[in-house]
Structures are given as structure tokens and as C-alpha cells.
């Protein structure tokens, strides 16, 4: 059970996401729970917080036990909103093309390296390339858009 759960106290005390240049990443994209997720977590009645635990992201109970639910469906295009630009109206930006292999690809966030990685070729999508294609502005918050 320890492999698939995290003590609630530990989650609340965990470090915020590593800054990736001037951007930060949505907590679930990063593979951790956010404050809103914790508020929705089921709590045991008559148990102190130190003994409470929640399932780690992407763990599910199935007929054959507890297992990871991460698949290619958990990857996605890099998504952010470019707002307050003097060059264009507020807009959603989707980054699809891998700068290394040149193909449309999906990405996942590597928390240890603090960057997006291509699901197909494994290449790093450099954080300095995560910017608006119209105005060049770096986003404040990024996540993946699941297909």
C-alpha cells in the first residue's frame, strides 16, 4: 500500500513545482496532487491527519489489484494561454511539433529534469522554446492537453 499511496501530511508539505524558466506546470501534469485535488480526496472518519493517505496520481483499483493507469493517453500537446499581449488577443496556444524530430508529437512532464519530453522520440522540448508562436511571450502556467 505504501507504493501506491502518499501520506496526506507529506503531500501538503511537498515542494511546489520546480520553476522551468519563467513557467510553472500544472500539478497533475507534473505527477503530483494540487490543492484542489486534495480538497476532493476521501478522508477516513475518526482518523488524525498524520495517519491519512491518498492514492498517488494515476493509480486505480482494478479487479486484478492496484495498478498504474498512465498510458499514451496521459501525454498531450503542450498547452498554455497567452494573455495580455499587445500583439494579439488572448489565445490558447498548442505546441505540437517536436523541435528535434520535426514530427507532431505528444509530451509528458519529467519532474526530475523539469522539462517536457517527447513521447515518441524521447527528446527534451527545451523550456525556452515554450513560448507563444505569435508574440514570443513565455507562459506563466503550462499543462498538457489530452487528446
pLDDT for residue 2: 67
The per-type count for the chain, helices as H runs and strands as E runs, is: 3, 11
Give the confidence band of 69 by pLDDT, cuts at 50, 70, 90.
Answer: low
- Where is pLDDT greater, at 51 or 4? 51
Give the confidence band of 28 by pLDDT, cuts at 50, 70, 90.
Answer: low
- Where is pLDDT greater, at 87 or 71? 87
Q: Which of 43-52, 61-70, 101-110, 120-129 has the lowest mean pLDDT?
A: 61-70
Element (H, E) at 9: helix 8-13
Residues 16-27: tens digit of each pLDDT: 544 445 567 776
38 grid coordinates:
486534495
8 A C-beta contact, residue 26 and residue 35: no
Torsion angle of C-alpha atoms 41, 45, 51, 53, degrees rounded to 10: -20
Residues 34-65: tens digit of each pLDDT: 666 667 677 778 877 777 777 666 677 778 88
Q: Which residues of 29-56 are buried (b: 16+ CB within 10 A; e: fewer)?
A: bbbbbbeeeeeeeeeeeeeeeeebbbbb
pTM over 0.75: no
CA distances from 65 to 59, 73, 84, 105 (A): 10, 21, 48, 32
Q: Which of 41-45, 104-108, 136-140 has the lowest mean pLDDT?
A: 41-45
Amino acid at each position: 500500500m505504501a507504493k501506491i499511496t502518499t501520506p496526506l501530511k507529506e503531500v501538503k508539505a511537498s515542494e511546489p513545482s520546480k520553476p522551468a524558466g519563467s513557467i510553472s506546470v500544472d500539478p497533475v501534469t507534473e505527477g503530483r496532487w494540487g490543492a484542489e485535488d486534495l480538497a476532493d480526496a476521501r478522508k477516513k472518519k475518526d482518523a488524525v491527519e498524520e495517519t491519512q493517505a491518498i492514492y498517488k496520481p494515476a493509480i486505480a483499483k482494478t479487479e486484478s489489484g492496484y495498478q498504474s493507469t498512465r498510458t499514451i493517453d496521459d501525454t498531450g500537446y503542450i498547452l498554455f494561454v497567452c494573455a495580455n499581449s499587445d500583439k494579439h488577443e488572448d489565445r490558447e496556444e498548442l505546441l505540437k511539433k517536436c523541435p528535434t524530430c520535426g514530427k507532431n508529437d505528444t509530451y509528458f512532464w519529467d519532474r526530475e529534469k523539469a522539462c517536457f519530453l517527447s513521447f515518441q522520440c524521447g527528446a527534451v522540448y527545451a523550456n525556452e522554446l515554450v513560448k507563444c508562436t505569435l508574440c514570443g511571450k513565455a507562459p506563466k502556467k503550462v499543462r498538457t492537453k489530452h487528446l
